[in-house]
Amino acid sequence: MMSKKCKYAIKAMVRLAANYQKGSLSTAIIAADENIPKKFLEQILLELKQAKLVNSKQGIGGGYYLLKSPNEVSMAELYRIFDGPIALVPCVSLYYYEPCDDCPDEAACYLRKEMIKVRDKTRTAMMKATLQSFLDNQKSIKQQTKRTL
Amino acid sequence: MMSKKCKYAIKAMVRLAANYQKGSLSTAIIAADENIPKKFLEQILLELKQAKLVNSKQGIGGGYYLLKSPNEVSMAELYRIFDGPIALVPCVSLYYYEPCDDCPDEAACYLRKEMIKVRDKTRTAMMKATLQSFLDNQKSIKQQTKRTL
DNA sequence: ACATTGTCTACCAAATTTGTAGAATATTAT
DNA sequence: ATAATATTCTACAAATTTGGTAGACAATGT
């Protein structure tokens, strides 16, 4: 499971993506719109700034804005920032590699091959899930509810 | 990431799979072979028994043995027992469904579609990773080290 | 000057993880 | 019978992670 922090980050990023190149959004607005505790969201947005995914402006009319195009930011990237490795075991992680402490000889590990397969499938799917794809979903959902009215 | 408990469970199950229909193995032996804290492993094996994946015999010569064929038990099943949902968010979990508490209207959630895709890819890969596939890996690794000698 | 908004650090409660401890129970060999 | 072996069951606990809150401070626009 993904942490709430990570899910909040995704929702905040989608909100910023919807506002891409249209100025900045305040934490308060994003928090209210997306149902995220404001003070918690502040920390999250700071981390996103450190990761160079967003930038901010202080003062009245200030807030956060996306630095990259919505199709350049994926769930995989956000997951790694907030929840760490996508891999199920550290010894097959691409970005957070560590030897497993219960594993005396990595080359002899009969788990790795399947762990790598799982990682790759998950990773690919998570990389395909870009902010843009979320925006597209949002749009098509809105279209659908409009039709049913 | 997978919990250590789950990883231990997989290793223990592979060990039992290697001994399938050849009698029972004691906790002590499995713990020593697979580098798992014995007392912790006891708890794990009890949970596996409750899940009807293994059975046990007490007393001298006793221990645990696999109830199902090695190709009938997958990593997906073990993951669910020890780490819960494979899905990244509760609202797309097949076995542990729950509404997300930050989500007012599930039908309007623009995250679900991609979350379902990720879940399905991960799930499929985890279901393909059966105890038998681990045994096969183990065998081919042993063959390989034999050739390099 | 003042209201607004982000920045930074510290703190905190609850849950989860990763075990350990020990007594009780069942089984088997002698 | 009894000793040895092995599972069963319950409780406990330290360390880490999660999901936040609080408050002082800094920057910015009007």
> E strands along B24-106, which residues?
54-57, 63-66
Taking the C1' atom of D22, which residue's CA lies nearest? A39
> Average pLDDT of chain B?
96
What confidence category does residue B73 fall into, taking pLDDT thresholds of 50, 70 and 90?
very high
| Contact criterion met (CB below 8 Å) for B37 and B70 | no
pLDDT in tens, B34-61: 999 999 999 999 999 999 999 999 999 9
What is the model's pLDDT at position A1? 97
- The bridge status of strand B54-57 relative to strand A63-66 is unpaired
What is the model's pLDDT at position A147? 84
Q: Which residues of B19-45 are buried (b: 16+ CB within 10 A; e: fewer)?
A: bbeeebbbbeebbeebebeeeebeebb
What is the model's pLDDT at position A149? 76
What confidence category does residue A32 fall into, taking pLDDT thresholds of 50, 70 and 90?
very high
The answer on pLDDT for B149 being more than 80 is: no
What confidence category does residue A29 fall into, taking pLDDT thresholds of 50, 70 and 90?
very high
Taking the C1' atom of D23, which residue's CA lies nearest? A39
| Contact criterion met (CB below 8 Å) for B40 and B5 | yes
**Residue B38: how many CA atoms within 13 Å on its side-chain side?**
6
> Average pLDDT of chain A?
96
What is the model's pLDDT at position B146? 83
What is the model's pLDDT at position A16? 98
Per CATH, which fold does B4-66 belong to?
Arc Repressor Mutant, subunit A (1.10.10)
What is the model's pLDDT at position B148? 83
Q: Out of A7, A84, A122, whose CB is closest to B118? A: A122
Q: Out of B104, B107, B129, whose CB is closest to A35? A: B104
Dihedral over alpha carbons B6, B9, B11, B12 (to 10 degrees): 170
Q: For chain B, what are the domain ranges?
A: 4-66, 85-129
Q: How are the residues of chain A apportioned to helix, strand and coil, as percentages rounded to the nearest 5?
A: 60, 5, 35
CA distance A11 to chain B (A): 8
pLDDT in tens, B98-120: 999 888 899 999 999 999 999 99
Distance B5 CA to C18 C1' (A): 8
Q: How far apart are CA B135 and CA B73, in angstroms?
A: 12
Q: State the amino acid at position B34 in one-letter form.
A: E
Q: What is the mean pLDDT of residues B27-37?
A: 97
**Nucleotide lying nearest to A26, CA to C1' measure:** C5
Q: Identify the weakest region by mean pLDDT among B10-24, B44-58, B135-149.
A: B135-149
What confidence category does residue A148 fall into, taking pLDDT thresholds of 50, 70 and 90?
confident
What confidence category does residue B147 fall into, taking pLDDT thresholds of 50, 70 and 90?
confident
What is the model's pLDDT at position A104? 86
Which residue, B127, B70, B68, B53, is CA-closest to B94? B127
Provide the whole-model pTM.
Answer: 0.96
If one counts every other C-beta atom within 10 angstroms of the C-beta of residue B10, the result is: 27
B88 contacts on A by Cβ (under 8 Å): 1-2
Q: How far apart are CA A19 and CA A9, in angstroms?
A: 15
Percent of chain A surpassing pLDDT 70: 100
pLDDT in tens, A52-98: 999 999 999 999 999 999 999 999 999 999 999 999 999 999 999 99
